[in-house]
Amino acid sequence: MMRFSTLMKHPADWMTGADTDSAIVLTSRIRLARNITGAPFPGWARKNERMAILPELRDKVETLPEMKDAFSHQLSELSSVQKQVLVERHLISREQAARSEGSAIVVNRDQTLSVMINEEDHLRLQSIRSGLHLREAYQLIANVDKELEQVLPYAFDHELGYLTACPTNVGTGLRASAMLHLPGLVISDHIGQVIQAVGKLGLAVRGIFGEGTESLGHLFQISNQSTLGESEEDILNRLERVIQQVREQERNARSKLLEEDPQMLADKISRAYGQLKYAYVIDSKEALTHLSLVRLGSDMGCFPKQAMELCDSLLMDIEPAHLQHKAERKLAPEERDTMRAEIIRSRLQNLSSPVINFITS
Query: Which residues here bind its own copies, judged by CB under 8 A?
Result: 263-264, 266-267, 270-271, 273-275, 277-282, 334, 338, 341-342, 353-354, 356, 359, 361
- Our CB check for its own copies shows the closer of 32 and 344 to be 344
Cβ-based neighbours of 204, under 8 Å, separated by 6 or more: 198, 221, 222, 223, 224, 225
Minimum distance from CB of 275 to its own copies (Å)?
A: 6
User: What is the rounded CA–CA span in Å between residue 69 and residue 90?
Assistant: 20
- Our CB check for its own copies shows the closer of 238 and 345 to be 345
Minimum distance from CB of 342 to its own copies (Å)?
A: 6
Query: Taking Cα atoms as reference points, which of 11, 36, 59, 28 lies closest to residue 140?
Result: 28
DSSP string, 129-152: EESS-HHHHHHHHHHHHHHHHHHS
Minimum distance from CB of 309 to its own copies (Å)?
A: 22
Minimum distance from CB of 79 to its own copies (Å)?
A: 25
Alpha-helical (H) ranges within the chain are 4-9, 47-62, 80-88, 94-98, 134-151, 183-187, 191-200, 232-260, 262-278, 284-299, 306-317, 320-327, 333-348
Minimum distance from CB of 271 to its own copies (Å)?
A: 5
State which amino acid sits at residue 111. Answer: Q
Q: Are strands 174-181 and 219-224 parallel, antiparallel or unpaired?
A: antiparallel
- Our CB check for its own copies shows the closer of 42 and 354 to be 354
- Rounded to the nearest 10 degrees, the angle between the axes of helix 232-260 and helix 191-200 is 160
- Our CB check for its own copies shows the closer of 71 and 273 to be 273
Minimum distance from CB of 318 to its own copies (Å)?
A: 16
- Our CB check for its own copies shows the closer of 98 and 281 to be 281
- Our CB check for its own copies shows the closer of 316 and 348 to be 348
Over the range 62-81, which residues count as b (16 or more CB within 10 Å of their CB) and which as e? Answer: eebebbeebbbbbbeebeeb
Minimum distance from CB of 337 to its own copies (Å)?
A: 8
- Our CB check for its own copies shows the closer of 13 and 335 to be 335
